[in-house]
Structure 1
Amino acid sequence: MGQTGISAFFVGTVIEGLVSLILVGLWGAALPIIMDPVNGLAQMYVGKNKDDGNDVNDFQPIISNANLYFTSWGAGVCAVMILAMYIRERLGGSGTGMGYTANWYLLMLSSVIVIIESMRFKNQVCVLDHGTASITCNRNTYGLVTGCIGLGVSFLISLFSSLGKDSALITTIFGFIMAILYTLCAGLLTFDNGPATYIGNHYLSAWAGFFLSFTIFGSVLKEFLGAGDASTAAAGTAGDDVEMDRI
């Protein structure tokens, strides 16, 4: 069914793309300010030290304003998803795989948050005398590396997916790699001496990366293992769209 009324001049047009891009830019600029624990708006630093003679404060960020925190992230994620759907449509990707592509975009967003929070923890806590234990900073460094790898991989895969040029084999391999990396990341960052044992951006983004990477790996593995049957079925049906190239 075609677009009618005002929607015909907005949905799927350059105007929608510009508006969604502006929204992503605005939230991209606002979220770091809102979420910076130093500003004390949506998060703040708290110390975990106990009266046990240990002079390490072990500062960690924690949610201080839940309403501001969740509504800000909700609006930011919605803006990213709208832009992702627009880009996929404009690049000619098939609509059937939007959920799969969206997971890669969300993994990319989670990786960006892990990077930002790890850098922030490194620059704001690890540099302080008695700010935290050295093992915590080491775990934070692993989170930073994982976030960088996740950002690079998810950006490339989501781009190729939007173009409809991704490969089941390649995405299965990288999905498995990201699942392993984020399993270690979530464990090291959120348990025991990790830098994100309190609920906040660092904690939630690490676990989001864990769940998203396994969701992606499961979906692409199923796609890859079913490649033979799908290819046979596609050969007998003209015009059917296939989400991923089978290599």
Structure 2
Amino acid sequence: MTFLQPNAHYEERKMHNSQHTNWFLAAAFATIALVSLFQDLERFNGRDDFKDQGQKITWVGSAIICALGLASIGLFMGLFLRHRFVGNLLEVMLAFLTVGIWAAVLPTIMNPKHNIATAGDFGQIINANLFVFPWLGLISAVAVLGGSMRLFFDRDVAKDEKSSSTFVSWGAFVATSLIVMMAASRQYEDMMCDDEDTTMCDRLQYATWVGAIGGFLAFLWMMWDLCLPNRFSMVETVLSILVLTAWCFGITYITFSDNAPAPTFSTLYFFSWGSFALAAGLVASAVYRMFGAVMPGDDYSEDDHVQAKEVEHSDEDDNDDEERGRGAVVVEDEGIAAVPPTTAAKAHDQVYK
């Protein structure tokens, strides 16, 4: 009896559809970012330092075109060759390259000194489309990479592996933490904090360290979860509580008060809140699994409950077979007797004259 097999097929189809949707979003966001860059060329042409900035604009445009090309390849291969592409090494490599391109070009786009998407001391947004959609493209690429790695390493939630459901969330937390680290370190350098010690510089230093350490620990847990699933799940609970505690202080230092380094909309502002929200979600998931493993009044866990369900359905099938076997074939013709069959399928073999 394979009670979980239909659910496994359903989850597989669901994952394939999710991967195709994420590839589509990655291509769409890259297209919008490219259009936003081209439409803003007039503003760049009006600047006195356009010649010096031309190389940066060329680099940004080329990188976005490459990301769009990779996302388009993934989109069409996921549509027409889904069973040979989705969850295979080729998709993992394609998603990894897409993430790498976005990670390489985003610092150039978001650097206030370049005046492409942000400007000013705190990195205020001057082109909302060029600010938002490259980040959305990166997030979609990270989602594709996380999903493809789950399938490639056979980490499907249909197999009732509790920790696999948070794998993508941990991957997103790694990405947001590293972005916070890079944004805070860049702002720390722009403010020349090495030459002076201020409260804002101290908070930027805290943001840099909490992003670096949190992202590194989350990445280590992801590798552990891939290699040894369902082992030491308490570690995930403790780690998620630690990173949430660190980000409770971090979000206060970074976005609140007059000395906050990210009081307005900026890269550091958005991704600090993103890291905090992801950490809170990870804690909620970990605590639910920890306390939900044994329900109040029950003496067995969720795994035992699933096994009991399998046995129950198996017994029901056996009972159905027995019920079908208890019937008798009644034949009205004279000279033909009926013998109670053992199964309905063999009834015709047991009728004789």
Q: Could you tell me how far 1:94 is from its partner in structure 2?
A: 2.2
Q: Deviations over 1:157-189 (max 9, x none)?
A: 222334434533111111111111001101100
Compute the displacement of 1:148 (Å). Answer: 1.5
DSSP-derived class of the 1:38 partner: helix
2:191 aligned with 1:116, yes or no? Answer: no
AA matched with 1:26:
I
Q: For structure 2, list consecutive stretches of 5 or more residues without a partner in the other structure.
A: 1-8, 17-78, 295-300, 312-353
* TM-superposed deviation, 1:21: 1.6
1:125 aligns with 2:191: yes
Larger radius of gyration: 2
Length-normalised TM-score, structure 2? 0.58
* Preserved contact between residue 157 and residue 166 of structure 1 (Cα < 8 Å): no
What's the CA shift string for 1:83-142, capped at 9, x where partnerless?
111112111212356552111111111100110011101111134878xx7000011111
Please name the residue that 2:144 is paired with.
Answer: 82
Alpha-carbon distance in 1 for matches of 2:80, 2:252: 51
Query: Is this contact kept in 1: 2:113–2:119, CA < 8 A?
Result: yes
1:46-61 matches, cutoff 5 A: 59-61=121-123
Q: Is the 8 A contact 2:87 2:149 kept in 1?
A: no
Aligned residue for 1:143?
207
**Is structure 2 residue 302 aligned with structure 1 residue 227?**
no
Counterpart pick for 2:111 among 36, 56, 61:
36
Counterpart secondary structure, 1:156: helix
The answer to whether the Cα contact below 8 Å between 1:34 and 1:41 also exists between their aligned partners in 2 is yes
1:175 aligns with 2:237: no
State how far apart, in whole Å, the 1-side matches of 2:176 and 2:144 are. Answer: 17
Q: 1:64 aligns with which of 126, 129, 150?
A: 126
SS class of match (1:80): helix
Q: Does 1:200 align with 2:275?
A: no
Aligned partner of 2:271: which letter? S
Change in CA separation of 1:88 and 1:154 when aligned onto 2, cut-off 3 Å: same
Alignment-derived partner of residue 20 in structure 1: 95
| Structure-2 change in CA distance of 1:144 and 1:168 (3 Å) | same
For the Cα contact (< 8 Å) 2:169–2:278, is it kept in 1?
yes
1:217 counterpart letter in structure 2? V
Q: Which is helix-richer, 1 or 2? A: 2
> Counterparts of 1:129 and 1:95 in 2: how far apart (Å)?
51
Instruction: Give the Cα–Cα distance (whole angstroms) in 1 for the partners of residues 194 and 89 of structure 2.
Output: 48
Quote the sequence identity (%): 23
Deviation at 1:234, TM superposition (A): 4.4
Partner Cα separation in structure 2 for residue 141 and residue 26 of structure 1? 27
Question: How far off its partner does 1:10 sit?
Answer: 2.4
Q: CA 1:7 to 1:93, structure 2 compared with 1: closer, same or farther past 3 Å? A: closer
Number of matched pairs? 224
Q: Give me the TM-score of the superposition, normalised by structure 1.
A: 0.82
What is the CA-CA distance between 1:41 and the residue it aligns to? 0.9
Aligned pairs for 1:206-217 (under 5 A) are 206-217=272-283
User: Hey, what does 1:236 align to over in structure 2?
Assistant: 308
Given that 1:168 and 1:223 are in contact with CA atoms closer than 8 Å, whether structure 2 keeps it comes out as: no
Pair 65,150 (structure 1): closer, same or farther in 2 beyond 3 Å: same
Choose 119-128 or 20-29, whichever is displaced more. Answer: 119-128
Q: Is the 8 A contact 2:87 2:150 kept in 1?
A: no
Q: Which residue pairs with 1:188 in the alignment?
A: 253
Distance 1:72 1:166 in 2: 37
C-alpha distance in structure 2 between counterparts of 1:70 and 1:206, whole Å: 15
* Conserved? CA contact 2:193–2:201, under 8 Å: no
Matches of 2:303 and 2:84 in 1, distance apart? 38
Measured against aligned partners, the alpha-carbon deviations of 1:204-235 in whole angstroms (never above 9, x if no partner) come to: 11111111111100110010112233243245
**Is contact 1:92–1:162 with CA below 8 Å preserved after alignment?**
no
Q: Quick check: 1:139–1:195 contact (8 Å CA) kept in 2?
A: yes
**Over 4 Å off, 4+ runs:** 1-5, 96-99
